[in-house]
Amino acid sequence: MGLFNRFKKKTPSIPDKAFSQQAESDTACILIMDRVMEDASQAAKIVKQAFGSDVVREVDQSHAPLTHMIVTLEGTEFWCSYMPFPVPPEEMNLPDTPQYSMFNPEEYQAICNSKSFWLIVQKGDGQSLAGKRQVCRLLTSLVGALLEAEGSLGVYVSAAELLISRRVYLQNAYILKKNSEDPNYFPAPLWIAIRQGQKGDMLLMGTWGLRQFGFPELWFLDPKSHWAEIHEKLYLMSIFQITEKELYKDGDTIAFTEGNITTFKEMNGALFLIGGNV
């Protein structure tokens, strides 16, 4: 059985209009620094080297060291603002239980002691699923370039409450670059967090961030498999929805292994996957 078939529902094919989800139109992330830069205009040079001299339309340093610049990639505008002070706590909800797949303890501690940050925002172009997907891919490439600046620590995606070290982000940005022509690829680990919790004595593992693409979060109820296998399934199922290959709904069934049926059950605005000995 092929990889795609393992994640395909036992329902008829999906009409195109089924994917007219209402994504969050604005897209943003925070790039965290370990220092206050006297001259943040070096970021414009990095972006020009990566994408060409014409992509940086405007750089405003009239209130240095604050820097604001507009970057246009493939016709899409991104506002990049450098803030010479630590990220306010209300803007960055650091996870209480660090996800060491996204950073190691030393990287986490450095981020907690950050000194400044870039706020990178795209407003309005993510209203459709296709538009949101394209904005996220472009923003990932832009942030990957900016992370080359000395003193960069990592990235925080508030829509998923997702914290990612510079090392891990650059690894995934490189994979995106290699797959830039593949419409079936999406850098899910940079936009979707995987969470863990408890419901009574049962373990829960699921996504956090799919709602920004217009989908309910996906959660496995009492999974039996190793956590790495559940992570892989959640990322792949997220990618299949974001790239419009699948759409999971209440009452659907799926078989990850032949003969073992897992059922989708909507509860409290999320889709729980129940049974199937997953």
Single-letter amino acid, residue 63: H
| Domain ranges for the chain | 3-11+190-274, 27-184
Check residue 142 and give left, alpha or beta (phi > 0: left; psi -120 to 50: alpha).
Answer: alpha
pLDDT digits (tens, 9 = 90+) for 111-167: 999 999 999 999 999 999 999 999 999 999 999 999 999 999 999 999 999 999 999
Q: How confident is the model at residue 1, as a pLDDT? A: 38
- DSSP secondary structure of 52-115: -TTSEEEEE-TTTT-EEEEEEETTEEEEEEEESSPPPGGG----SS--TTT--HHHHHHHHT--
CB atoms within 10 A of CB 150: 9
CA–CA distance, 193 with 219 (Å, rounded to integer): 12
Q: Give this prediction's pTM.
A: 0.90
Indicate the pairing of strand 27-33 with strand 56-60. unpaired
- Among the listed residues 50, 51, 55, 60, the one whose alpha carbon sits nearest the alpha carbon of residue 72: 55
Indicate the pairing of strand 218-221 with strand 270-274. parallel
Instruction: Check: CB of residue 173 under 8 Å from CB of residue 141.
Output: yes
CA–CA distance, 79 with 71 (Å, rounded to integer): 7
pLDDT digits (tens, 9 = 90+) for 13-24: 565 556 556 899
Give the C-alpha distances (Å, rounded to integers) separating 139 from 11, 84, 119, 150, 263. 34, 22, 12, 19, 35
Could you give the percent of the chain with pLDDT greater than 70? 91
> Would you say residue 8 has pLDDT above 80?
no
- What is the SS3 assignment for 130? helix
